[in-house]
Amino acid sequence: MTALTLVDSSLRDGMHSVRHRFTPQQVAAVAAGLDRGGVDVIEVTHGDGLGGSSIQYGEALHSDAELIAAAVEAVSRARVAVLLLPGIGTLRQLREAQSLGASVARIATHCTEADIAAQQIAWAAEQGMHVAGFLMMSHMVQPAVLAEQARLMESYGAGTVYVVDSAGALVPGTTAERVAALRAALAPETAVGIHTHNNLGCGVGNALAGVAAGATWVDGSLRGLGASAGNAQLEVLVAALERSGRATGANLFELMDVAEEVVAPLMPRPQVIDRSGLAIGYAGVYSSFLLHAERAAERYGVDPRDVLMELGRRRVVGGQEDMIINVAAELAGVAA
């Protein structure tokens, strides 16, 4: 049975929940705890990846470089990963991240746009980084289409390709279908990954279904810290994987302690499935839209669920955040 690679996204996806306010000291404390807990890969950047700090995506308190350096210095065995979305992050920023010690590059595109990542994947692979292709919003296309996009990422040099449930819209059955399609389409030496959100309450269940279908890179975050309703809760996921007979190599009690004593005090609010978070999963829109939609709804006096459902009907995806204001204004019957 192939060993699992356990990945934590608390310091990247969790950035959305803390409005990108993590400090280098906080990053170091969390990364050190994850390292002690046996996590293999720790992802660190702005929530929208390298270069994401902006008015549109949210301005970070500290630079990606400061946070990456803090994480690299804090760990002794875990690898540090960075996320890059072509069109937001640049090769210059990826080069800087590598020079600081990041050794895993997660290159993310919309699930039908793998071709825009050819340059970034190829460059990172040539530099000796492990490249994980991230097919975001994977619920929006059928498994066969997703597999075709995965093959493109593999052809560019990706060593792992992910099914990414950015909206928390998948359930165990639809997750397993997509992972199985990728596993059948890719070479045996190319790993399949699974990244889940918890908007429908299926974060851990979807991760388990993905592993059962052939995923060997599996993501979670401590306390579920992540965009919208959060990610698969890492410490719960580890326990569930162990109970299902899949060894993780992690120290469960250490991860429980880090979650409780280090991460929980940093959270501005518990990671729960509230009505807006549930609406994101039901509508199938990007999880990081949550705070933007809530602010736009308050500004125009409309229900954020109506905003999210309309965004879903229009199939709005990451990079179209300006549409959130437009939709809220239209629902209110005023000009944006």
| DSSP, residue by residue, 222-239 | GGG-SSTT-B-BHHHHHH
| 55-100 pLDDT per residue, tens | 878 899 999 999 999 999 999 999 999 999 999 999 999 999 999 9
Residue list, annotated binding site for Mn(2+): 13, 195, 197
pTM of the model as a whole: 0.93
What residues have CB less than 8 Å from 287, skipping those under 6 apart?
16, 166, 167, 168, 197, 199, 226, 227, 228, 229, 280
Least confident of 38-47, 298-307, 319-328: 319-328
Residue list, annotated binding site: 12-13, 166, 195, 197, 286
Are 5-265 and 275-332 the same fold in CATH? no
Residue 172 pLDDT exceeds 90: yes
Distance CA 172, CA 211 (A): 11
What is the rounded average pLDDT of the residues 126-138?
98
Residue list, annotated binding site for substrate: 12-13, 166, 195, 286
CATH of domain 275-332: 1.10.8.60
Burial of 55 (0-12, 13-18, 19+ CB in 10 A): exposed
What is the rounded average pLDDT of the residues 146-163?
98
Question: Catalytic one among 16, 20, 46, 130?
Answer: 16
16 a catalytic residue: yes
- Ordered by start, the domain boundaries in the chain are 5-265, 275-332
| 245-288 pLDDT per residue, tens | 999 999 999 999 999 999 999 999 999 999 888 999 999 998 87
Give the domain 5-265 fold. Answer: TIM Barrel (3.20.20)
CB 106 within 8 A of CB 82: yes
Please work out, in degrees rounded to the nearest 5, the angle formed at the alpha carbon of residue 85 by the alpha carbons of 46 and 299. Answer: 60
Q: b vs e for 81-113, b when ≥16 Cβ sit within 10 Å of the residue's Cβ?
A: bbbbbbebbeeebbebbbebebbbbbbbbbbeb
Burial of 142 (0-12, 13-18, 19+ CB in 10 A): exposed
Question: What percent of the chain has a predicted confidence (pLDDT) above 70?
Answer: 100
Residue 300's pLDDT band (cuts 50, 70, 90): very high
- The pLDDT, as a whole number, for residue 57 is 82
Residue 154 pLDDT exceeds 90: yes
